[in-house]
Amino acid sequence: MVSHPLDITTLPSTEELPCSDDIPVDNEDQNLLPNLLLFSLALLWSDRMDWYFGVDMAVYHTTGISPKVPVVPDAFLSLGVERKKGGKSRRSYATWEENNTPPILVLEMVSHRPNDEYDKKLELYARLGVLYYVVYNPEFWQRDRHQPFEVYRLEGDTYRLQIGEPYWMPEIGLGLGRGRQVIGGIEQEVLLWHDAQGQTYPMPGQRMQEIQSQLIAQRQRTEAERQRAERLAEYVRSLGVDPDNLPE
């Protein structure tokens, strides 16, 4: 059977398509962890306008049973696309509206209800051309006979499980791995971006704390210099010299 190229002018726009599949998440981390990655990335790449990170958003594509049937990852990253499409927020992500750019990274988080993360979704994302497929399964990995954190890389048309954590993704310029952070006063495991040396990039809250510490240190240095100048002025006055009228 001869396949014919799809006429994208006949496809619906994202304004006409649902933004998600309306399936509620079954634990709070499915919202929290991807959003932490998004906020961290917005801090890291604040000067870049060529990327988009979606959380629980429908991705429409032409490699499935119908362009109107999306896949909805817990999170995905696309490069070479606008941060704000036409200056506006996206309702959903349709590859035919993004110069046929599929996500370069997809994250799926396994919950107590398995959702084909290790089989059907592997096949789907491979067809879509997603380079990196990450499965995070902190609670049920033994049930599923997998590791808690797995990164798959597309080689040809097949995903290969990668080794190493944090795992460095040169095409993205970031690594991804797990770590423990205090979130809302509670310490827990989260997913974190890393640099090429495996060092963790700070989360937004951490960065604000660093900035505050730097500001406090700067104020302390300024105050110490002011006090030193005052002591020096007092010493000069004790010698009978007006510090405000020193000879040039």
- Amino acid at residue number 158: T
Measure CA 82 to chain center. Answer: 15
CA 94 vs CA 16, 62, 66, 128: distances in Å: 11, 9, 12, 12
pLDDT of residue 112: 82
The residue written with tokens 């951490």 in the block is: 206
Average of per-residue pLDDT values in the chain: 83
Token reading at 52: 């988009």
When pLDDT is averaged across residues 101-127 and rounded to a whole number, the result is: 92
Q: Check: CB of residue 193 under 8 Å from CB of residue 29.
A: no
pLDDT of residue 71: 93
Token reading at 67: 């362009």
Digit-coded pLDDT (tens) for 116-125:
899 999 999 9
Highest mean pLDDT among 25-34, 111-120, 159-168: 159-168
Tell me the pLDDT band of 218, cut-offs 50, 70 and 90: low
CA 143 vs CA 28, 52, 99, 232: distances in Å: 21, 33, 40, 72
| pLDDT above 70 for 158 | yes
| pLDDT above 60 for 2 | no
Q: Are strands 59-60 and 93-94 parallel, antiparallel or unpaired?
A: parallel
Choose the CATH number for 8-201 among 3.90.1570, 4.10.860, 2.40.128, 2.60.40: 3.90.1570
Q: Which of 135, 172, 163 shows the shortest CA–CA distance to 150?
A: 135
**What is the C-alpha separation between 19 and 47, in angstroms, rounded?**
27
pLDDT above 90 covers what percent of the chain? 56
Element (H, E) at 187: strand 186-194
Torsion of CA 125, 129, 132, 134, to 10 degrees: -10
**What is the C-alpha separation between 124 and 129, in angstroms, rounded?**
9
Q: DSSP code of 203?
A: P
Tell me the pLDDT band of 211, cut-offs 50, 70 and 90: very low
Q: Which of 169, 180, 175, 170 shows the shortest CA–CA distance to 199?
A: 175
Strand order in the sheet with 75-79: 51-55, 75-79, 105-109, 132-136, 149-155, 158-161
When pLDDT is averaged across residues 43-52 and rounded to a whole number, the result is: 94
